[in-house]
Structure 1
Amino acid sequence: MSNAKRTRTVSKPQHFTSPPHGTLQKLTYTGPTGSANYYVYTPAHYHVGTSMPMIIMLHPCMQTPEDFAAGTGMNDLANQHNFIVVYPEQTSQNNGGECWNWFDPANQVRGSGEAAIIAGIAHQVENNTSRWTIDKKRVYVAGMSAGAAMSVIMGATYPDIFAAIGVHSGLEYQAGTSVTSSVTAMAFGGPDPTQQGQAAYHAMGKYARAMPVIVFHGSADTTVNPINGQQVVEQWMETNHLASKAYNARFSSPASTITHISPGGYPYTVQKWKDKRGHVVAEYWVVDGMGHAWSGGRLGGLFTDPFGPSASQAMYEFFMNHPRH
């Protein structure tokens, strides 16, 4: 089967079931800007008092937290490596397609809208010390598509909470500020990344610092144009340069570029950029021939492609190398 015929696996999603001994709990957050349900996955053999990293996973449109968990396999990784996974839930009442409303200006600033709700969920889990002991220097957020665009927003608006972000098939900060402009950005790319990088830096306010970012995108994505992946990298280059003079990378001059072939057959390229101290600040994974799907996801999951490298594994490894200082 050619790569062109393996660009997507969009079938009926599997129902989520917890791996043996892990627990999944549904909770509700209510705050000044609204409320949302969320799920917390606690891995097997976890004991309260053992400090653990936490990854918040933001699902794409037309998907539930259960579907996203099943498709990405993130809970299995949590069992292997001992970390907490949190899945906030967007509802059809807030968006007909169950999309995060990343294009709404009210959700693109600190202390407002969905950004404040997601941050509130993170704080609520951190503060539930009778059930979890979260390492506050190792709290991360990742997402796909609309969820990825929201993860970019979270990195810009709450750099004091999130140590690093993962962006799969997403868009730069404020790529769209209305339904119309968001559709345009998905099809053709967003505004100038340097300009948006400055906007994200201003959104950080007094909490500004370099935000490590790992970006995944399929080269055959027809839902979110692949140019958006590059723009995410470039936007954060500008933001991080403004936030830390130790980072002065250029997109055209990565510290390393490596091409591999995944076990499933897709070629993919990984580019990395470092700061002046030699620390990797950004990674950009382009999967050649893959469409709008979570790379290395479970067969049968919604918006997953098992033939690519594992985005879940790559993001986990990237995150663990980037605690918040």
Structure 2
Amino acid sequence: MKARFLNSMQEALGLVRSGKLQQATQLIQESLGRNLRQGTPAERQAPDKVIEAEFVRKAEHTEQVSSSKSETAKPAEAYTPVNKSTAGQDAQFITRNFSNEYGSRDYKLYIPSTYTDQPLPLVIMLHGCTQTAEDFALGTEMNRFAEQYGVLVAYPNQARSANSKGCWNWYKTKNQQANRGEPALIAGLTQAIIQSYHVDPKRVYIAGLSAGGAMASIMGATYPDLYAAVGVHSGLAAGSATNVIAALAAMRQGSRSVQALGQNPGFVPTIVFHGDQDQIVNLKNAEQVFAQAKQRLEASNDAYFNTEQTTLNPPSSRAYTRMQMKDEDGQTQIDYWLVHGAGHAWSGGDIQGSYVDPTGPNASEAMLRFFLAHTSK
């Protein structure tokens, strides 16, 4: 099945290079549909066989180691897990819609039982191709951890009219700029939630999987003052592609030239998850997300940063290598988790959702812990 799929992608790439975009698009969509239909549900969810319809519609020192917006933000330590015996009794998971001049999107919003008049953090979660907000929430189990830590979570739904596979259109130039396209729509949705609910504006975060991860990278680059931290799972660096040919190539082997978005985008703390057996979005892309964040961190601050690398093999999850860039105070500014043996799937979570590797380590909890350690300046 994999060989047939890869041969089809090679053929499609040849059609694109020949200028036959319509034929390439049809072949890609047919191949993706066939690939997604084949196999049992268990096979489709197996970490080394997860295939996401990610293709676009148009064809330093290193140390080795084994509405109420006026209240002052509380330190990260204040956000400790609530009592599980009472959690969720009054929690809500509601459907809302947001519209502005850049479009309209439905979204799901999780409101934890701890929501009162005290401003809470907000996390925006961007799903991958073929997924929905409900599916992504189920698979990542982010709501469960949001309940424990007292966090609002929003899951925008990509419109099928914008992309037939439900992908965020991260590779289009108009969607890589502030105040344009999908970034302006997602930022507007974020700001609307901040204004409508008791959200701490200094604790707003964004994360995504695959195409959603690529869009999360873009959101951090285009709206660094809106988001206090970014999570990129199996995604690509901002500016990895500006057309369909470059998008396909970047997914296969990393971007040849990651474009800078904006003249001087500010640094946003970044956490990265990627499986080293990902056959859909090449591992090189995670390295480029890390490198891009590192470059911005060093450009925005003259302070000394220490890089620590740790490899762990816990009995309850996959082995992983973790690389952290820490500032002089010991706070992690960039956190890169390389999960050994994992494919193109969210690390940890519930297999009732799609594209999930339940073995872990758990990306949702790791991201929340990282997020809550950071506030916007």
TM-score, normalisation: structure 2: 0.75
Equivalent of residue 292 in structure 2, options 216, 235, 243: 235
Match of 2:313 in 1: 261
Instruction: For structure 2, list consecutive stretches of 5 or more residues without a partner in the other structure.
Output: 1-44, 52-87
Number of the residue aligned with 2:122: 54
Relative to structure 1, is the Cα distance of residues 127 and 265 closer, same or farther in structure 2, using a 3 angstrom cutoff?
A: closer
Residues 279 and 159 of structure 1: CA distance in aligned 2, closer, same or farther (over 3 Å): same
Post-superposition shift, 1:192?
3.9
Residue 316, structure 1, aligned to residue 377, structure 2:
no
Residues 262 and 308 in structure 1, CA contact (< 8 A), matched pair in contact too: no
| Per-residue CA distance 1:140-161 (angstroms, 9 max, x = gap) | 0000000000000000000111
Give the 5 Å matches for 1:134-283: 134-192=199-257, 196=259, 199-200=260-261, 202=263, 204=265, 208=266, 210-246=267-303, 255-283=307-335
Q: TM-score, normalised by structure 1?
A: 0.87
Distance in 2 separating the partners of 1:56 and 1:266: 27
- After superposition, the Cα gap between the structure-2 partners of 1:83 and 1:265, relative to the gap in structure 1 and judged at 3 Å, is closer
Native 8 Å contact 2:322 2:336 kept in 1: yes
Q: 1:9 deviation in Å?
A: 7.5
Task: Tell me the CA shift for residue 74 of structure 1.
Answer: 0.4
Bigger Rg over Cα: 2
1:75: which partner in 2? 143
1:163·1:323 contact (CA, 8 Å) conserved in 2?
yes
1:190 partner SS: coil
Is the contact between residue 50 and residue 344 of structure 2 (CA under 8 Å) also seen in structure 1?
A: no
Deviation at 1:6, TM superposition (A): 5.1
Return the alpha-carbon distance in structure 2 between the equivalents of residues 264 and 182 of structure 1: 36
For structure 1, the residue ranges without an aligned partner over 5 or more in a row are: 12-18
* Counterpart in the other structure of 2:95: 26
Q: Deviations over 1:36-90 (max 9, x none)?
A: 111111012422x111000000000000000000000000111111110001110
Deviation at 1:189, TM superposition (A): 0.3
Pairing 1:93–2:158 present: no
RMSD (Å), alpha carbons: 2.0
Q: How many matched pairs?
A: 298
Name the amino acid aligned to 1:109: Q
In the TM superposition, what whole-angstrom CA distance separates every residue of 1:162-193 from its partner, at most 9, and x where no partner exists?
00000000101111111221111000101345
Structure 1 Cα separation of the partners of residues 89 and 138 of structure 2: 14
